[in-house]
């Protein structure tokens, strides 16, 4: 089955818990209530705490599409490591830098990535974030535009964001010009533009066109001043310096991920229902590869 995060598994457990047999329901409730303990403890310890046999945990794992207990527990364990990463220090960078030329380069690249993420998120103040969310959720239509390498960032932001904000539109969607798809833009709309030096002429054209139409503009860029007659209402500045020839987009991706989190939170129950509907539709249409389901084991 596709890789799932701890959060996705908990959402699914909450959705399915009422339809589970009593013992599996008890296991599901324990995991929802104690995800950290579930990520750490061996199967026998978890079973003893719940008051069921280890077989019940294996059955729930297989119900969720996993081959066994350990693969099912793995996303919860991975989440624990990620959530505690900031308390582990940076000794690993020093050790890495001592591992020859390749190690020194990797340490430099890793340190650079961490620095630009930290700076980009530090510049993303609560005031700027609140304004961005208000612009986007209050718009009749919110457009997202970028071109060339930045287009990948805009595509991902739209792919996830449209589940929380149905009016989110990616432009250009195909091979045309973004301006072609902004013809109906007006004062009730919003444009989110992503561009970094050297700035895309097409993105600048879109920014100027949207300004002429009176739309609110959110610019995600490495500078607040990218070209004449580009006058955004809000700039979310990001750091992009890299150890190679091209700009590093790690900081921009972190800012977009934070913005997605705020949009989903602002969407409330309706956004979570749309996300569930999207996931169900993908399951129904075979969008994800699934390993063959193993035969169920009867619990004695």
Report the pLDDT averaged over residues 89-100: 83
pLDDT at 71: 92
pLDDT of 164-188, one tens digit each? 999 999 998 776 678 877 888 999 9
Token pair listed for 298: 């009867």
Q: Measure the CA–CA gap between 286 and 78, rounded to whole angstroms.
A: 27
| Bridge partners of residue 190, in order along the sequence | 142, 216
| Average pLDDT of the chain to the nearest whole number | 88
Is the pLDDT score of 290 beyond 70?
A: no
Q: With contact defined as beta carbons under 8 Å apart, do 161 and 263 qualify?
A: yes
- Residue 173 has φ and ψ, to the nearest 5°, of -85, -30
Burial status of residue 274 (CB atoms within 10 A of its CB: 0-12, 13-18, 19 or more): middle
Report the pLDDT averaged over residues 132-159: 95
Find all residues with CB under 8 Å of 192, minimum gap 6, and list them: 136, 142, 143, 144, 145, 154, 157, 218, 220
pLDDT at 247: 86
pLDDT at 257: 96
pLDDT at 156: 96
Q: Measure the CA–CA gap between 118 and 83, rounded to whole angstroms.
A: 16
Burial status of residue 226 (CB atoms within 10 A of its CB: 0-12, 13-18, 19 or more): buried
Report the pLDDT averaged over residues 35-43: 89
Q: Measure the CA–CA gap between 236 and 286, rounded to whole angstroms.
A: 38
pLDDT at 144: 97
Is the pLDDT score of 299 beyond 70?
A: no
Confidence label for 210 from pLDDT (cuts 50, 70 and 90): very high
Confidence label for 1 from pLDDT (cuts 50, 70 and 90): very low
**What's CA 227's distance to the chain center, in Å?**
30
pLDDT at 176: 67
Report the pLDDT averaged over residues 206-220: 95
Is the pLDDT score of 300 beyond 60?
A: no
pLDDT at 78: 83
């Amino acid at each position: 089955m596709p890789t799932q995060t701890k959060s996705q598994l908990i959402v699914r457990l909450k959705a399915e818990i009422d339809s589970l047999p009593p013992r599996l329901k008890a296991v599901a409730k324990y995991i929802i209530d104690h995800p950290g303990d579930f990520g750490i403890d061996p199967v026998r310890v978890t079973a003893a705490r719940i008051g069921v046999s280890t077989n019940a945990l294996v059955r729930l794992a297989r119900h969720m599409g996993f081959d066994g207990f350990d693969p099912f527990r793995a996303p919860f364990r991975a989440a624990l490591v990620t959530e505690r990463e900031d308390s582990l220090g940076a000794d690993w960078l020093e050790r890495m830098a001592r591992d020859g030329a390749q190690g020194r380069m990797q340490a430099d690249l890793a340190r650079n990535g961490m620095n630009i993420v930290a700076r980009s998120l530090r510049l993303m103040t609560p005031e700027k974030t609140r304004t961005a969310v208000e612009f986007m959720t209050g718009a009749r239509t919110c457009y997202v535009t970028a071109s060339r390498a930045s287009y990948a960032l805009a595509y991902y932001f739209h792919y996830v964001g449209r589940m929380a904000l149905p009016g989110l539109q990616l432009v250009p969607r195909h091979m045309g010009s973004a301006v072609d798809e902004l013809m109906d833009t007006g004062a009730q709309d919003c444009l989110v533009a992503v561009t970094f030096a050297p700035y895309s002429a097409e993105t600048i054209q879109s920014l100027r066109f949207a300004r002429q139409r009176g739309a609110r503009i959110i610019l995600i860029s490495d500078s607040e001043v990218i070209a004449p007659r580009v006058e955004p209402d809000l700039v979310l500045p990001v750091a992009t310096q890299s150890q190679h020839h091209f700009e590093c987009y790690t900081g921009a991706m972190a800012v977009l991920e934070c913005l997605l989190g705020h949009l989903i939170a602002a969407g409330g129950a309706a956004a979570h229902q749309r996300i569930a509907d999207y996931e169900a539709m993908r399951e129904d249409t075979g969008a994800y590869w699934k390993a063959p389901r193993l035969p169920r084991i009867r619990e004695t």
